[in-house]
Amino acid sequence: MLELAWLIPIFPLIAYTLIIFLTKKSKSISVAVALAGIVASLVISIGVLVETIQKGITMAEPFEVAVKWLRLSAIDKYTGLNIDMGILIDPLSAVMMFVVTSIATLVIIYSVGYMHGDPGFSRYFAYMSLFAFSMLLLVIANNFFEMFFGWELVGLCSYLLIGFWFEKPSAAKAANKAFITNRWGDFGFMLGIILLYINFGTFNFGEISRIIGDGASGVGAAILTLISLLIFAGPMAKSAQFPLHVWLPDAMEGPTPVSSILHAATMVAAGVYLLARGFVLFNESTETLLFIAYIGGITAFIAASFALVQRDIKRILAYSTLSQLGYMVMVIGVGSITAGMFHLTTHAFFKCMLFLGAGSVIHAVHTQDIFEMGGLSKKMPITTWTFIIGALALAGIFPLSGFWSKDEILLATHQAGFTGLYWLATLVAGMTAFYMFRLIFIAFFGEKRTDHHAHESSPWMTVPLIILAFFAVFSGWGLVKMGYGSMVFFGHPHHGEINLGIALISTVFALGGIVLAWLIYYRKIVDTDLMKQRFRPIYNLLWNKLYIDEIYEWLFDKVMLGVAWLCNQCDRKVVDGIADGLGDTVRHTGGWMRFMQTGSLQNYALVIFGAIVIIVLLMATPVLGGVIR
């Protein structure tokens, strides 16, 4: 099986090509092709996972194959540029690939029901396959460059899929926002890996960790910090960490299955995966790790607080995704990739399920405002119960999957001695439980507010929900039993024993959140509007997400477009301006500078010759080395 691992990304690519070039016309065939592609990858990745466990392939001795992709031989004193395209199979990538393929399969099945009757039906499945390809390429990559390649591709797919319903201007706007925000992250990432290459002479993960392990890198601590910080810019954008988190909530403009797989389960987790993959690098610089940890903590907290007041079901889930991603990044920052990846895995399942559930709700009631829903528990039992399971898992209630991974995170944070972050995280756990059950009590159990004719969705949509629910319940416990900690780790294997104290505290917080939500939104012991009035400023602050978007909009308009405008003016007007201005001044003194007012053509000429004169003068001065002696 391992030899076939390289096929895992290829199948979806083939599916994409087929759909685009051949089967675009026929919806059913396109679906079949997309499904076939992803299922094939799923089968192989299961095989790979099993074999990885059986053969005892560890992080230390991974299975690696590579082909030359770009070879520029080094000419004596000039360094060359050697880039491979390879596959790297170790528990980390094996598990990740299983997660991606299984979720992609379920989501594609779900989409058949969800996208039914959409004009862009085939195009949708083509994009989905393309995304699967890029994501798997990113996961299976054995070097930073290849990873960056997939990284950019998933960005492109997310752009295409967010803007899928481009009739909606908001969708178009969101797509651009997401793409451009991510470009700024990639900017750092790209610069980082180039610097990395210049200093280490390789992109390959294995070789880099070897070089660092031997301590023979001869790279200064400062430059290592710089590199790791630059690379972290990538995850900050992709995993929507504060302050680059603004694009993710808007990304909910896309179709809900897209939000579930790209912007909840897998793509946004790519940043976390990168952190785990390149951890050896980040581990070299304590400053970077500290930065990562606190960025994660801040994200987790502010996102949870935003989620408290949202009305849009998808936005609530989006902010909870943000805060969970914050968890993962934070815990990797404190040094435990085990906990981070563990939570990534469990979160992928239950968050994907929550989104699909939300999708099925939206499909039924055609609104996203939870205050317009209510009373759905009767009409859509399956959706309701799966949703509740997901919420419980997210809240981290024993024995659902979320409990185990969240406990891991809290434990790791506590053991690493970040007491502040630990209490913050625990608090966030409570907030999470609160806003999730606020959602549930309003949308599913609250009295019916508008007359929507909700009905349970088609089996295409419910079956994946049920399967995911199964994962949401058992994946955490199962992975612990499988000894996840001894498979995916950095340095020494990590055995996930339950620390009763921490587990208890977090559970108490979670239950507290649920009870609070129950009291406020089900029993209505307090008038929410009154509370809104009482805490108006805070409420507004949270409702407007601390005005961060507005600040960015302002910055973007004022600064970037301003600079553009300025350059443009320079290029257009200044020449004329100077010319005319001078012309005006000298017209009175005499006509000898009339030429200053001639048409633009001669102003170009003026600029050319003026530039020459200035350059010569500069050359004469020591500024440029005073080459004229």
Partner 1 sequence: MITLEYYLILAAALFCIGLFGAVAKKNAVAVLMSIELMLNSVNINLVAFNRFLAPSQLVGHVFAIFVIVVAAAEVAVGLAIVISIYRDRFSTEVDNLDWLKW
Partner 2 sequence: MNLSLLTLEIVVATLALFIFILGLVAPANQKRGIGYFTVLSLVVSLIIAIILHGESGTAFGTMYVVDPFSSYFKIAFLIAAVLVTMFSISYVNKLGYNQGEFFALTVLALLGMMIMSSAADFITFYLGLEMMTIPFIILTAFRYGDKASSEAGMKYMLLSAMSSAVLLYGLSILYGAAGSTLYSDVINVITGDNIDALTVIGLVFLLAGFGFKISMVPFHMWSPDIYQGAPTPVTAFLAIGSKAAALAAMIRMFMIALPETREVWMTLVIVLCAMTIVLGNFVAIPQTNIKRMLAYSSIAHAGYLLMGLVAFTNLGISAILYYVMIYVFANAGAFACVNEFGNMTGSDEIKDYTGMWKRSPLIASVMLLCLLSLGGIPPLAGFVGKFYLFTAIIDQGYIWLAFLGIGMSMVSVYYYLIVVKVMFLGKPVEETSVPVSLGAKTVMFVSAVASLFLGLYPAPLTDIATKVAQLFFPM
Q: State which of positions 538-577 bind partner 1 (CB under 8 A).
A: 571-572
Subset of 510-529 contacting partner 1 (CB under 8 A): none
Least distance (Å) between residue 133 CB and partner 2: 10
Tokens of 139: 């996961």
Coil/strand/helix, residue 402: helix
Q: How many residues bind partner 1 (CB under 8 A)?
A: 13
Instruction: Name which of 56 and 599 has its Cβ closer to partner 2.
Output: 599
Position 126: which residue type?
Answer: A
Q: Which does 595 bind (CB under 5 to 8 A by kind): partner 2, partner 1, none?
A: partner 1
- Packed helices 286-307 and 313-333: angle between N→C axes, nearest 10 degrees: 160
Nearest to 327 by CA among 261, 438, 407: 407
Burial category of 570 from C-beta neighbours within 10 Å (exposed 0-12, middle 13-18, buried 19 and up): exposed
Among 68, 600, 624, 626, binds partner 1 (CB under 8 A): 600
Between 544 and 600, CB nearer to partner 1: 600
Residue 590 sits in the site that holds partner 1 (CB under 8 A): no
Look-up of token digits 């309003």: 442
- Residue 153 binding target from partner 2, partner 1, none, CB below 5 to 8 Å by type: partner 2
Spatial distance between the Cα atoms of 347 and 406, rounded to a whole number of angstroms: 10
Q: Which residues of 249-272 are buried (b: 16+ CB within 10 A; e: fewer)?
A: bbbbbbbbbbbbbbbbbbbbbbbb
β-strands 63-72, 81-89 pairing: antiparallel
- Asked if omega into 381 is within 30° of 0 (cis), the reply is no
172 binds, among partner 1, partner 2, none (CB under 5 to 8 A by kind): partner 2
- Residue choice 215, 590, 599, 622 for contact with partner 1 (CB under 8 A): 599
At closest approach, how far in Å is the CB of 78 from partner 2? 4
Pick between residue 152 and residue 580 the one whose CB is nearest to partner 1.
580
Q: Which is nearer to partner 1, 565 or 609 (CB)?
A: 609
**Footprint of partner 2 (CB under 8 A):** 68-73, 75-76, 78-81, 148-149, 152-153, 156, 163, 166-167, 169, 171-172, 175-176, 179-180, 183-184, 186-187, 190-191, 194-195, 197-198, 560-561, 563-568, 570-571, 575, 600-601, 603-605, 607-609, 611-612, 615-616, 619-620, 624-625, 627-629
User: Which residue reads 């968050």 in tokens?
Assistant: 351
**Cα separation, 75 vs 372, whole angstroms:** 68
For 500, phi then psi, to 5°, come to -55, -45
Handedness of CA 369, 371, 373, 378 (dihedral sign): positive
* Nearer CB in complex with partner 2: 270/361: 270
Contacted entry of partner 2, partner 1, none for residue 611, CB cut-off 5 to 8 Å set by kind? partner 2
Given partner 2, partner 1, none, residue 90, with its beta carbon under 5 to 8 Å by kind, binds none
> Binding of partner 1 at residue 598 (CB under 8 A)?
yes
Which residue among 584, 609, 620, 627 contacts partner 1 (CB under 8 A)? 609
Token output for 552: 């960015």
Q: Taking a C-beta distance cutoff of 8 angstroms, is the pair 324, 390 a contact?
A: no
**Shortest separation between residue 592's beta carbon and partner 1, angstroms:** 9
Which is closer to partner 1, CB of 290 or CB of 605? 605
Sign of the alpha-carbon dihedral angle for 534, 537, 540, 545: negative
Residue 601 interacts with partner 1 (CB under 8 A): yes or no: yes
Q: In this structure, are residues 337 and 488 in contact, taking their beta carbons and an 8 Å threshold?
A: yes
From partner 1, partner 2, none, which one binds at residue 594 (CB under 5 to 8 Å depending on kind)?
partner 1
SS3 216: coil
Name 71's bridge partners. 82
Q: Which residues bind partner 1 (CB under 8 A)?
A: 571-572, 594-595, 597-602, 605-606, 609
